[in-house]
Amino acid sequence: MQSSTTMKAVLILAVFALSLYLLYPTFQLSRYTEDEKIALDREDRNSLIDLKSKSVNLGLDLQGGMHVILEVDIKELLNQLAKNKDEAFTTALDKTAAQVIESDEDFIKVFNQNLLESGNRLIRYYGSRELSSEEQVIDYLREQTSETVNRAQEILTNRVDEFGVSEPIIQQQGTNRIIIELAGVTDPSRVRQLIGKTAKLEFRLLKDKEVALAVAEKIHSLVQSKISPADTTVKADDEKPAGDNSAVDLDQLFGEDKPAATKADSASGGEDSIYEAEMFFLHPNNQQTILVPIEKREKFKVLLASDEIQKIIQEESSDAEFIWGAKSAYEGQFYEVYLVNKRSELTGETIMEADPRAGGQMDPTSIGKYEVNFSLNDDGARIFSRVTGANIKKRLAVILDNQVYLAPEIQVKIRDGRSRITGLNSMEEAQDLSIVLRAGALPAPVSIIEERTVGPSLGMDSIISGGQSALYGMILVVIFMIIYYRMSGALANMALALNIVFIMAVMAYFNATLTLPGIAGIILTIGMAVDANVLIFERIREELEKGKTVKSSIDQGYGNAFSAILDANVTTFIAGIVLYTFGTGPIKGFALTLMIGIVASMFTAIVVTRVVFDYVLGKWSIKKLSI
């Protein structure tokens, strides 16, 4: 019997020693200040990563960070999936989007109802040989929605993983929402760009110079016809106020007079009119590029979206559209606008590698800027080779999220499948763009509908208040147990301390995240661990009152209390599984510590205290138990 007790004691000591070993990286990491962590990251990044991977992570509410809810744009997805579109379709889609925002109803169900009210059916817009009934179309749309959200979650997970956030929480909420929790994030705007960017990369050919010039001339003629000649109609140079040298600046910029085909008189169509003089100019050296003064950008956007301009584009080329440049040009004075094919020659799905680097290595004009060099897989390289070989001397636009980053002229056939995106303002921007390109484009746009940021100071306050709550609760329990159960109570307190050590060690081993609700779970576990000892001690008291020996009372006490303790802990553990499976971030944190605590408390309350009792009884002949 004594030999068995000794083996159990050795096992407990071994588990305790292992727990301290597992907790050592956590203690070591907690000793570093933020500056020391940054220095260690620069000197030995792998060492810091290894240390973090073996430590207990602090959750969003304890170390600060971001909580974001993203919504996948189902409206845009349904618009992309439609094989046919008309005014009734667009009206029903817009109406549905407005209704769903207010009611949070099922998008597809409401969309179907709105189409039926207008005398149309889903099959008209989505039908095919495989989708020959309304039910099949609805099932298809639901399946596509589910796959899109799942794919978006997968891509966002890849982006966040590459960004380097430890223990991110990314999970779906409802049918089209994704919750992201990123602990320790200090730059919310950068994260916002990282997770919100669709990252749809396309290569499209610019329309031929003749088509672009014809469209520009017709737009210019339309604008001039709309401008009211009520005021004076004289040349800008004649009426230019003293000190206003804008016209001179433009001439200096272009190196020649502005083309007459796009130069309107200095009359205005009214303060609120979208038609104004000198709304745009053709680039003197490249008439496939329109230059829009930065102050007239918004009005020109409205102008391009108007039915009259769209009709002009359709007359000249049915497969063309205007795309804006991603950055302002010419010292921030203009935005470039390009007339490009609607059809993509190649997309970013074939990207294999993407690396950020400083500009100027291949192009002296990009010195001081940053760029992303990327390579395509075999399929992409083959297509890229064919496209560049068949369109030498034509311009190919590199478009990311419907913005042109560059539109170089194809000089030679590019066989190696390599290209680049230039003009980025910082290395961080280049790094983030590399991440999203490698992770892939989102299958549909996403928007941030809720965002909460917890500062590091608030997180530290939570740690202090949570730690104080746990400490005060533990002190009260310790005092109560010693007063009520005397030496046996002190034994229960020792088991309680071991219980907390075991919980934290298990969390460190699994690199789990400790949250504020997790601290609440530990506090609850303290009560549950003591509750098990209370049941045992009360049973021992009952046996002692019957006149049984100390050893017999202890045997009977543990035996009689075991079933009640097991039942209570098993049912609570099942509740913890349910909370962890279906709960969100904070609930998961609570459930995790609760389940670990239940297992640890069963071990300390039943095994540890029993071994101590057996050891004491075997060592000394005790006639009276302090309980």
User: Could you report the per-residue pLDDT of 230-255, keeping only the tens digit for each?
Assistant: 433 433 343 333 333 333 333 333 33
Backbone angles phi, psi at 325, to 5 degrees: -70, 150
**338 pLDDT higher than 80:** yes
If pLDDT is split at 50, 70 and 90, which confidence band does 485 have? confident
| C-alpha span between 257 and 216 (Å, rounded) | 17
| C-alpha span between 583 and 60 (Å, rounded) | 16
Compare 59 and 264 and report the one with higher pLDDT: 59
pLDDT at 250: 35
**Amino acid identity at 624:** K
Instruction: Return the residue matching tokens 């749809």.
Output: 200
Looking at residue 515, the DSSP 8-state letter turns out to be: -
pLDDT at 249: 39
Average model confidence (pLDDT) across the chain? 83
**461 pLDDT higher than 90:** no
Compare 259 and 463 and report the one with higher pLDDT: 463
Whole-structure pTM over 0.85, yes or no?
Answer: no
| C-alpha span between 481 and 485 (Å, rounded) | 5
Which range is most confident: 176-190, 192-206, 283-297, 379-393? 379-393
Terminal Cα distance for the chain, rounded: 24
pLDDT at 109: 92
If pLDDT is split at 50, 70 and 90, which confidence band does 51 have? confident
Which of 164, 166, 170, 186 has the alpha carbon at shortest distance from 29?
166
Which of 590, 572, 594, 478 has the alpha carbon at shortest distance from 530?
478
**128 pLDDT higher than 80:** yes
**438 pLDDT higher than 90:** no
Name residues whose C-beta falls within 8 Å of residue 160's C-beta, 6 or more positions apart in sequence.
Answer: 168, 170, 180, 182, 194, 195
pLDDT at 523: 85
Worst-scoring range by mean pLDDT, 147-151, 375-379, 420-424?
420-424
Percent of the chain, pLDDT > 90?
Answer: 27
3-class DSSP state for residue 611? helix
Instruction: Return the residue matching tokens 């007239």.
Output: 296
Burial, 82: exposed, middle or buried (Cβ in 10 Å; 0-12, 13-18, 19+)? middle
Mean pLDDT of 496-513: 89
Mean pLDDT of 70-86: 90
pLDDT per position as a tens digit, 262-321: 433 333 444 456 777 788 888 777 778 899 999 999 999 999 989 899 999 999 888 999
Which of 459, 491, 595, 512 has the alpha carbon at shortest distance from 53?
512
If pLDDT is split at 50, 70 and 90, which confidence band does 73 have? very high
Mean pLDDT of 187-206: 86
- Paired with 292 in beta bridges are 335
Instruction: Return the residue matching tokens 């202890």.
Output: 554
pLDDT at 43: 79
pLDDT per position as a tens digit, 545-557: 888 888 888 888 8
Strand pairing class (334-341; 320-329):
antiparallel
**436 pLDDT higher than 60:** yes
pLDDT at 234: 35
Mean pLDDT of 397-414: 89
If pLDDT is split at 50, 70 and 90, which confidence band does 153 have? very high
Mean pLDDT of 7-22: 91
**592 pLDDT higher than 60:** yes
| C-alpha span between 121 and 111 (Å, rounded) | 10
pLDDT at 342: 92
If pLDDT is split at 50, 70 and 90, which confidence band does 324 have? very high
In 218-285, the DSSP E strands lie at: 281-283
CB–CB of 199/401 below 8 Å? Answer: yes
If pLDDT is split at 50, 70 and 90, which confidence band does 528 have? confident
Mean pLDDT of 68-91: 90
pLDDT at 389: 93
3-class DSSP state for residue 509? helix
**402 pLDDT higher than 60:** yes
Our CA angle for 90, 91, 94, nearest 5°, is 85
pLDDT at 167: 67
Backbone angles phi, psi at 184, to 5 degrees: 80, 5
pLDDT at 320: 92
Name residues whose C-beta falls within 8 Å of residue 303's C-beta, 6 or more positions apart in sequence.
Answer: 219, 223, 274, 275, 279, 309
| C-alpha span between 215 and 207 (Å, rounded) | 10
Measured CA to CA in angstroms, residue 146 lies from 157, 171, 372, 431 at distances of: 17, 13, 32, 30
pLDDT at 166: 64
Mean pLDDT of 87-115: 88
CB–CB of 170/155 below 8 Å? Answer: no
CB–CB of 11/617 below 8 Å? Answer: no
| C-alpha span between 94 and 75 (Å, rounded) | 8
Burial, 42: exposed, middle or buried (Cβ in 10 Å; 0-12, 13-18, 19+)? exposed
**Amino acid identity at 366:** S
3-class DSSP state for residue 70? strand
Name residues whose C-beta falls within 8 Å of residue 557's C-beta, 6 or more positions apart in sequence.
Answer: 536, 537, 539, 540, 541, 542, 543
Worst-scoring range by mean pLDDT, 65-79, 80-94, 230-244?
230-244
Instruction: Return the residue matching tokens 């530290």.
Output: 460
pLDDT at 348: 85
Compare 408 and 165 and report the one with higher pLDDT: 408
**459 pLDDT higher than 70:** no
DSSP string, 94-111: HHHHHHHHHH---HHHHH
- Paired with 419 in beta bridges are 374
pLDDT at 362: 62
Mean pLDDT of 536-553: 88
Helix extents (H) in 164-245: 188-196, 209-226, 236-239
| C-alpha span between 552 and 544 (Å, rounded) | 9
Compare 422 and 364 and report the one with higher pLDDT: 422
Domains and CATH numbers, the chain: 57-61+457-619 (1.20.1640.10), 65-198+449-454 (3.30.70.3400), 202-424 (no CATH)
Compare 99 and 233 and report the one with higher pLDDT: 99
